[in-house]
Structure 1
Amino acid sequence: MLKEYKHVRQPVGEGRRRWFEGKVLELIVWYGASEAVAGFQILYRTREGERALTWREGKGFFHSRVDNGTMAPMKNLTPILLPHESVPWDKLVVEFERAGAELEPELRSLVHARLVEQR
């Protein structure tokens, strides 16, 4: 099940953010000025590494591979998102249905609907 972090940094001038973590995936939700969901990101792991599926209102989905940088002492350790093509839609829908079962109904329905639309 996804459990919400209660103390998420809220950058000044941006909408509110919420962050949920589970064993299989994480969910970050961005809210706009009207408190409507403006976007969300699902982070999940594959054999090849971590992936991020991001949805933004009016822009749709973007799928990325998470590059965690390098472990060399003089190199960048900041994770960055790089384009990635293949999205396991069916797997993500099933995993979200399991992990998100205890989210409030409105949020769960919105994320689920967006995922199912893309299958």
Structure 2
Amino acid sequence: MLTNQAIRNVANDLDRRWISDDYFDLIVWYETEVQIHGFQLCYDKPGRERALTWTRERGFLHTAVDSGESKPTANRTPIVVADGTFPAGQVRREFIARSGLLPAEIRELVLARIKDYEDRQSA
């Protein structure tokens, strides 16, 4: 089940909230305390982690997460890189199953944006 995580404020950046479980990381950015600016939904953490990012200004971006770890002794920062098709149906089903305790405005926004992305893929 998705739960809140501690997060460090970053100077000159938007306020954010980090919610995660063993499959998802969801970062939500806020313009104000109540106005959501966008989100990044990282999914399939134990497998081939990818991310769907949506913001009001830029719309959608789908990427893979490159952990940067090529050696057990190296500790590199993960980065996002271009990726292919977003498996919207699979991610939507998993998100519905895990997001029951999220605030309604976050849950509904993420589900609506997943549907928007899926509709664009099938158009």
| TM-score normalized by the length of structure 1 | 0.87
Q: Residue 4 of structure 1: CA displacement?
A: 0.4
The two structures, once aligned, show a CA RMSD in angstroms of 2.0
8 Å CA contact retained: 2:2, 2:19: yes
Residue in 1 that maps onto 2:87:
88
| TM-score normalized by the length of structure 2 | 0.84
SS of 1:49 mapped into structure 2: coil
Deviations 1:18-58, CA, capped at 9 Å, x for gaps: 00111221211111146411111111127862111111112
Matched AA of 1:32: E
User: Segments of 4+ in structure 1 off by > 2 A?
Assistant: none
Q: Residue 112 of structure 1: CA displacement?
A: 1.0
Partner Cα distance (2:47, 2:114) in 1: 22
SS of 2:49 mapped into structure 1: strand
Deviations 1:64-100, CA, capped at 9 Å, x for gaps: 1111112275x67111110101100101111111111
8 Å CA contact retained: 2:4, 2:20: yes
Q: Which runs of 5+ in 1 are unaligned?
A: none
* Change in 2 beyond 3 A, CA 1:57/1:109: same
Matched, 1:60 2:74: no
Partner Cα distance (1:46, 1:38) in 2: 24
SS of 2:62 mapped into structure 1: strand
Partner Cα distance (2:95, 2:43) in 1: 10
Residue in 1 that maps onto 2:121:
none
Matched AA of 1:90: G
* Change in 2 beyond 3 A, CA 1:8/1:34: closer
8 Å CA contact retained: 1:71, 1:77: no
Q: Percent identical across equivalent pairs?
A: 35
Partner Cα distance (2:65, 2:105) in 1: 28
